[in-house]
Amino acid sequence: MTDLDDKQVVESQRILELLFAYMPKIAAERKMDGLLILMADLGRSIVAADRCSLWLVDNDRGELWTKVAHGVSELRIPHDAGFVGYSVRTGEPLLIKDAYQDPRFDRRSDEKTHYRTTSVMTVPLMNSAGNVMGVFQAINKRGTNEQGEAAVFSIQDLERLSLTAVYSAKTVESAMLNMELEATQCEIIHILGEVSEYRSEETGDHIQRVAEISSMLAKFLGLPENEVERIRLAAPMHDLGKVGIPDAILNKPGRFTDDEYTIMKTHSEIGYNMLHNSKRQLLRFAAEIARSHHERWDGRGYPKGISGEEIPLAGRICSVADVLDALSSPRCYKQPWPEEKVKEEFLKQRGAQFQPELVDVLMEHWDEIYCLYRRNFD
């Protein structure tokens, strides 16, 4: 075996190890931002580039966008800009030895960052319909060649990045489809939540505020990020059961009679029954919130009369958010309470209607939460 053969074996082993290292991370990643960063890291490692980005096409805005690092805002460029734009327009890869000798090169980025681009590769990502959905771009080959000169990308590098692009395209397209399905589900949830608000002649902003306050309380309580997001998405469904309550009761300006109140209380079970048989976990989670958000910490709530930690945590959280919004907002039967009176009521109900720790969290972060009402109703 020649030295060249040995080098090829070592290089093939290196690439195989990279793929085995990155594939589990990519398969486990659920957010597009993180996926783009992982794909770019994989591409950069495989072709030994100084920089690598995976750009996606945003047809609605006529732009390309990417993420280069966690915590960094996304980067956007016109869809026809530079080498990346060329690959989007033509569907062709590029292998450039010296960017400054090519008229398609957009120098503005280098001028802004004082970075010197030399060798460049671009490879289009094709979706299952055969359309360009994005572009891999690798910049500046690391190391030197046998003559001691700065290395440039080779045909072999282009082939490797192209193979990475095929895998990346399938992964990104699948992620986009999942994101679209999740977005559609969330939109349906929000629309259904608004149905109950429109029927009760209250502003649809109520469900938005309850969702926002619920997620803030969950975050301040120290719940994991995915649980905070799950509560934010499900909370708008808390009053879905109001669609089954007669208008004469739902929009009555005065106090309910005992019989009317009994009917009104059924909205929590109605909402639960509408949602709990769903095959979607998020909707089943919303069903629990719908049924439990009128339970009380002391066991005197409805519909089950359960108490303490028997009440699902999301229901306890949504209960605080719902009452805060009900007291602080105008309703068909009342004007909003003054801020200090609202605060006094929560302190009064600490350990009675509400979990003590949740009231403590609300008080600790009162200004951050109550600013929603100062902004909307002052």
Q: Which amino acid is at 118?
A: T
Pick left, alpha or beta for residue 237 (phi over 0 → left; psi -120 to 50 → alpha; otherwise beta): alpha
CB 79 within 8 A of CB 62: yes
CA trace torsion 105, 49, 133, 168 (10° rounding)? 170
Single out the residue of 58, 64, 68, 59 nearest to residue 83, CA to CA.
64
Tell me the C-alpha distance between 100 and 260, whole Å. Answer: 78
State yes or no: is 242 an active-site residue: yes
Tell me the C-alpha distance between 318 and 232, whole Å. Answer: 10
Residue of 242, 279, 341, 348 with catalytic role:
242
CB 213 within 8 A of CB 321: yes
Single out the residue of 209, 203, 164, 133 nearest to residue 45, CA to CA.
164
Single out the residue of 300, 301, 372 nearest to residue 336, CA to CA.
372
Single out the residue of 267, 363, 349, 355 nearest to residue 315, CA to CA.
355
CA trace torsion 331, 334, 338, 339 (10° rounding)? -30
Which tokens hold the place of 378? 């002052």
Catalytic residue IDs: 242
